[in-house]
């Protein structure tokens, strides 16, 4: 289905709060504040709703990574302090730790940026139609997440 201007506006209305939230995540010293970062990441979840059922697993992963970091937020006002603690404890490679969760959150944020760039830059024909949101999302996926997924995860996004 073609992406008409109304759909682009709907997607932009979901992405605009995320863009605004990301502006305020840095502390005065330029470090990322855990609470602001997690609040911004929560705003990614409605983006997955707009992309349909193919992205439900991604939404679940993002939510799980947010929840994992949320459990450590009270102890770590600055985001990378969580990773520093895991590195000091030599648990940074642990699948249930926060370092990997943070890495995947970063990758999903890169996906959202690529998705937004695709929505903004898509050409609109004289009828007001352009590439489908599915096509734009697939392109964003290929650029950002596909290199880190195995064949099974890639098949889920196809």
Residue 3 has pLDDT above 70, yes or no: no
Residue with more model confidence, 89 or 112: 89
CA distance 135 to 102: 27
Among 5-9, 13-17, 96-100, the minimum mean pLDDT is found in: 5-9
Query: Which tokens sit at 139?
Result: 């392109």
Mean pLDDT across the chain = 82
The pLDDT score that the predictor gives to residue 95 is 83
Burial (0-12, 13-18, 19+ Cβ within 10 Å), 153: middle
Nearest to 112 by CA among 57, 64, 48, 23: 48
The pLDDT score that the predictor gives to residue 9 is 58
Could you tell me the CA-to-CA distances from 40 to 3, 37, 108, 120, 130 in Å, in that order?
26, 5, 12, 20, 29
pTM: 0.78
- pLDDT (tens digit, 9 = 90+) per residue, 28-45? 898 999 999 999 889 888
Could you tell me the CA-to-CA distances from 105 to 29, 59, 65 in Å, in that order?
22, 11, 7
- Alpha helices in the chain, H assignment, sequence order: 5-23, 34-42, 45-51, 56-73, 79-88, 98-121, 133-144, 151-157
The pLDDT score that the predictor gives to residue 10 is 61
């Amino acid at each position: 289905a073609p992406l008409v201007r109304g759909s682009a506006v709907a997607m932009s209305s979901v992405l605009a709060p995320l863009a605004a939230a990301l502006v305020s995540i840095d502390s005065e010293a330029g470090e990322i504040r855990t609470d602001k970062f997690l609040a911004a990441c929560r705003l990614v979840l409605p983006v997955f709703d707009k992309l349909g059922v193919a992205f439900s697993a991604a939404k679940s992963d993002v939510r799980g990574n947010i929840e994992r970091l949320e459990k450590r937020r009270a102890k770590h006002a600055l985001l990378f302090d969580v990773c520093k603690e895991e590195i000091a404890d030599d648990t940074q490679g642990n699948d249930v730790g926060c370092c990997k969760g943070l890495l995947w959150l970063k990758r999903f944020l890169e996906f959202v940026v690529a998705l937004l760039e695709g929505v903004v830059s898509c050409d609109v024909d004289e009828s007001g139609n352009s590439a489908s949101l599915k096509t734009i999302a697939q392109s964003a996926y290929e650029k950002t997440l596909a290199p880190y997924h195995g064949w099974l995860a890639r098949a889920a996004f196809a």
